Structure 1
Amino acid sequence: MKVFQEINSPLRTIMTPGPVEVDPRVLRAMSTPILGQFDPAFTNMMNETMEMLRQVFQTKNQWAFPVDGTSRAGIEAVLCSVIEPGDKVLIPIFGRFGHLLTEIAERNGAEIHNIECEWGTVFDQQVIIDEMKRVKPKVLAIVHGETSTGCMQPLDMIGPACRELDVLCIVDAVATIGGTEVKVDEWQLDAVIGGTQKCLSVPSGMAPITYNDRVEQVLSVRKKVEKGVATEQDKVDVQQPIRSNYFDLSQLQDYWGPRRLNHHTEATSMLYALREGVRIVLQEGLNERFARHRFHEKALMEGIKAMGLTLFNDVPWKLPMVTCVNIPAGVDGDSVRMMLLQQFGIEIASSFGPLHGKIWRIGSMGYSCRKENILFVLAALEAVLIRHDASIEVGKGLQAALDVYESSNLVVN
């Protein structure tokens, strides 16, 4: 019988758009002794986590808690709890994850309405607003930060328009929460899903969400339908109960609310990790954290351009924590990525769909967003490109990044 050794994970510098390096303080928190999920010490941690999540989401919503599972679990929980078969759902697509929202909505019986724009661009907000007026959907589901293209969709006009048109605005902010502004209340977003494995620098395994009373009203009526106590007016608005058990937000409310009704066994160590992750975010300060991401982004971009490479997403709507680099003609992009991993222990990402094989995606998120990582990836990328006979400006990339770091008064790690 084969004897398996204990895990000996290699050290990596992870510069992908997710997952990213986990903050060492989070790793320490995950080694905290396990508590029972109804132990007062643990339920107090649950309450503290909810309170801190409200601050990160910049909301006063009552409901801000994690769904156990990856980010997709959070998206599915919100969509399956809100969408009934036959509901009109408008989903603008400007990258891979708009297609994911579409698939999940389809599986819940939605009548899908898509609009699309070219990968690498985003929508003029008025285009989406005009389409809402035409379609009259129950739900607008939209991605905020599209990591497949490194682009970020503005939402400040879309949220208020949804409120005026009585459309529920559901936002995938998996890539952006904790790294750039996600103003849930100010932008009038009804439900927002975040991710742990990106700018929060927590392992994948929980999906922080928040939603307001407009969403809660839908959940409440669907629960009445399930229990057979719905009024005739309720039945006009809602016809079917929530199909999922695990992803039923109305049941999760009972679990995370003061009643503490048993729904599932909480992922204890992940809750420790999330609590520490959001604590670190708030300790740094939201504005300071957002500025840090933009600062290191600038150093990375300047270094790449000085090297003689071009950026795919050098546009006003660039996602601050994902930098997309056009692969030079004649260079095998996958071979470059493999050499970075094998020789330097650095991981960067390729892309999907129409961009597969055309760009590299370099993430600078959360704990991975540090000066030593930026300089290391630039130095290693130059060395690997030289080995691949690419035509680059040798020695200039690091110097340009150092110019950014030495010319700034901003003190960051």
Structure 2
Amino acid sequence: MEAAARHLDKANLSADMRSKYLGLVSLLINARDDEGISTDTLMAALGVSSDNIVRMLHQLEQMGVLSNDLALTVLLRKGVREASSDRLARLAEMEKAVLARLPELAPDADNGEWQDVNLRGLCQDLKIRSGVDFIPEQLMKLLHSLARPFGDGEKGRRASFDVKLLRREILKVRLLRSWSNIREISDKRRAVATVLLQMLLGKLDDKLRGVDLRVECKLGELAEALRSDLEIGPQLKDELTAIEAGLLYLHDNGVLILDRGKTVFRSAMTIRIYPEEKSRGFTNADFEPLKEHYSEKNFQIHVIHEYAKLGLKKLSAALSFVFAYFSLPKLEFIRRYFAGRKEILERATTEESYRRIVESLRHPLQQRIVAEKPDANRLILAGPGSGKTRVIVHRVAYLVRVLREPASSILVLAFNRGAAWEIRQRLRSLIGAEA
């Protein structure tokens, strides 16, 4: 831990982020050697999303603190009909044919308007032009893959185009990028996918043949394969998001099956609203189960945090805490271990974080303004030197860290660039990368 702390000291992290990184290292060090530790466990313990867990592991690897051993398992086809390498080669032909034909069928899509395309007619046209059999379901999968962002850096998170099936055979397409940019992204994603597939196939024995051949690898190995490739390596700004895009592209189009590790990159659920329910309004009663779910989630996170604090002081106290959690009624458990602190269980942040954002102000009026519920508009007037900037910074931190409002939904207007820079710096010191 001391060596890890020294590496983190060189990384110029905020106190909060440094604490999270140390917490992650501690969890990994204390995990049993004969068992892996899932990203779900790390998420629950640290209160961090899965993609941030992956990013933190990657950054710790770059700092030299650990090797990125996040495990992935894929199923491949080799030496048989419809082998994975053959499927990728055919997919490349299909993709090039689609991107050559779509601009001709929807030339006005560049202006951001929806364009109609006949799906079955497009399949037949592509078959004649390329000699590759297209079926509507397969083409739709390919179009959805092409539409997704490649994810190479922040600007890469924007999708390439919107596509939806209006009726059984009518596609609607609307561009979010130019056709030339879409082709460039497509080439890069396909190059990444090719490198990843070659690396995975290389882990199989040369004489092995079959379907659903299981290959286990580490995320760090995939990143190293991309870095080592002379063609695609220098082009990548963000290896993790490139790996995500490449693996999901291969999985969605049937080149391989991402067996273990898919949830690292993609949520397990897709929610669709029934057409007949779209016009129905919602009442507070509809949201009550969701409120209970998140309240219980907050409670469990605070319980884990309390367990960790007790474990650092005295292991027997932590074990008694666990026994009480599973044996006592909830209210009695709260009275015993959270007496006088019941209100912290309702907050989506740690007690230390809340204290730093709200209680550290040491000014009752400022604290009340910062912790106001966002249910009405507020106009606050104050004179020079009264702490207006400080209140604004802490209010934004409260919205992001305590109320879990998306940072992208918050707009702060400053008088000049200097003030904007100061607000940004103060926010980073309060809530780190979430700013």
TM-score relative to the length of structure 2: 0.25
Greater relative contact order (Cα < 8 A, sep 6+): 1
The structure carrying a bigger strand percent of its residues is: 1
The structure carrying a bigger helix percent of its residues is: 2
TM-score relative to the length of structure 1: 0.26
